[in-house]
Structure formats: structure tokens, C-alpha cells
Amino acid sequence: MQQITNKRIKYRLALQKDLGRRFRSEYLGSLVQRPKLQKWSTISVGDVVLIGNDNQKRINWSLGRVIEIIPGKEGITRFVRLRTVRGEMLRPIQWLFLLEITCQMTEDVKAKVAKRASGSCCQRVSYTNDKSCRSCFTDYKNTVWKNHQ
């Protein structure tokens, strides 16, 4: 059992290292470099951003979703309120790096997300009474294996 656990830990560490390497080389390397005096009007509510931090490597920066834009006295956007895994925070836009992938949710996608969040979309397993059948199907036609003990 100990050997299986060690193999699994090694596999997960190798997978994490490989994904981190690919993320750094493929995605972060392809981000557009912005000049210092760029207009930041492209950030809008619902955008997913990387939250910059001088004390961490870019791979360890947090992801956040913009939930509110706060303009300054001149009407120019200065701060945004973000929702992250750890809660909400207020950050200046100079420390935000907009991900180049945007998500425009249509009405049917919004309805599916609301249905899934309400819990009415849970998978119920329908087992057969046949003892020889080891696999069964969920409502979404996914195969589930029975545990015979």
C-alpha cells in the first residue's frame, strides 16, 4: 500500500510540475506586453484577470473575476472589486492582467449554470437488480461501477 501511495504522490508531483511548466511557457509567454501608459478601458465586469504581485512568481498569482468597476474623480477607471477563491478584494487596475480568453454567456448557458447551482441537476444512479452486472449508468449516461464487497 505504501508503494502505491508513493507512486501516486510522484505521479501527482510530476503532473503538477509539467502543467506549471506548460502554463508558464505556453500561456504566460504569449500574453501581450502592455505599454505603461495604456488606457485600461478594456476591463469590464465579469472579466477574469490575473492579480499581479511583486512578491510572487507569475505562476503563483491569483485569479479573480471583476465584480465592480470603481472610477476615479476624472471618470477614469482606477480600482476594481474582485472576487477570488479567498473572498473579495479591491485592487488598482495597474496590477491586473486581463486574460485574453473572454466568456460571453448566452441566455441558455446562464440557465444551465443556474440550474446546476440550484442542485436540481444532480446525478442519480439507477442500479439494476442483476447480480452479474457490475456497471450501471447515471441519468447522463456515464458509467458507474458497483462496489461488490
Structure confidence by residue, pLDDT tens digits, 24-74: 777 776 676 655 545 555 788 888 889 988 888 888 888 999 999 998 888
Average pLDDT value for residue range 128-136: 51
Residue-level pLDDT at 125: 43
Task: Give the least confident one: 10-14, 95-99, 127-131, 140-144.
Answer: 127-131
Residue-level pLDDT at 27: 77
Average pLDDT value for residue range 135-147: 57
Q: How confident is the model at residue 98 (pLDDT cuts 50, 70, 90)?
A: confident
In percent, the amount of the chain with pLDDT more than 90 equals 16
pTM over 0.75: no
The Cα 80–Cα 16 span in angstroms is 31
- Cell numbers given for 60: 503563483
Question: Residue 1 gets which letter from DSSP?
Answer: -
The Cα 66–Cα 89 span in angstroms is 10
The Cα 20–Cα 59 span in angstroms is 7
- Cell numbers given for 145: 461501477
Residue-level pLDDT at 60: 86
Mean pLDDT score across all residues of the chain? 74
Query: Between these two residues, 25 and 145, which has the higher pLDDT value?
Result: 25
